[in-house]
Amino acid sequence: FRHVTCHKCNKEGHISKVCRSHTNANHNKINTIASVTSEQIKHIHPIHVPIKIDGFNVVFDLDTGSPITVIDKSIWMQMGKPILKPIKSVYSSFSGHTIPLKGEKIVKVNYNDRELELQLIVGNEDCNNILGRNWINALHLNETTLDELINNNKVLNVNSKITNLKHLIHTYNDIFKEGLGCCKMKAHLYVKSDVIPKFHKPRSLPFAYQQVV
């Protein structure tokens, strides 16, 4: 190795593997990028954004890398399978694979105090509900910080759950009404006359639950 230049100290006569110089020990770290493993990625929670579409509450995953907004086919079926128009454009994933899409539709969108009519695309396979850049810009979510968006969506999620519960009770009021259900029979318990009653103290409730109960 007499005429070989060391890549570590730039001197001739040896290779970098046996170089004794430690002055440039951090030289190779300047332009390196720390690797991120899949274990680290899968623990990153998505940012959920609840939006009302044609009267249905749908929770989206915020995705600034997607130019379009897509819902899962099951959501489209819950909405009553509204008529869709064919999609002329072809969309591909980050890996280059073509995304199978069922169709598109103009829907009424309600978010906070905004009400708009926007284009919605329905996926033809099981997928996440993706909130893309077209809706992000239309709803001015790009003007909101992530902290504000997350805190606001926590409140919206609670309100949407309450609304869904009220709608569920109203739709199936026969199940939730007072009184007996399908079973109309009456029962009578026979006990021995000489049995001595026993008192059992009721289970004490946490203080936070006492007013509700």
pTM for the whole structure: 0.51
| More confident of the two residues 27 and 126 | 126
| More confident of the two residues 38 and 57 | 57
Model confidence at 153: pLDDT above 70: no
Report pLDDT for 62: 87
Report pLDDT for 118: 93
Please state the three-class secondary structure of 97-157 as a single string: CECCEEEEEEEEEEECCEEEEEEEEEECCCCCCEECHHHHHHCCHHHCCHHHHHHHHHHHH
Over residues 167-192, the pLDDT tens digits come to 667 777 777 777 766 777 778 888 88
Over residues 61-70, the pLDDT tens digits come to 888 888 889 9
Counting every residue written for the chain, the total comes to 213
Residue 73's contacts (CB-CB under 8 Å, 6 or more residues apart) are 102, 122, 123, 124, 125, 126, 127
Q: Which whole number is the average pLDDT over 24-43?
A: 46
Ordered by where they begin, the domains of the chain are 48-165 (2.40.70.10)
Distance CA 114, CA 140 (A): 10
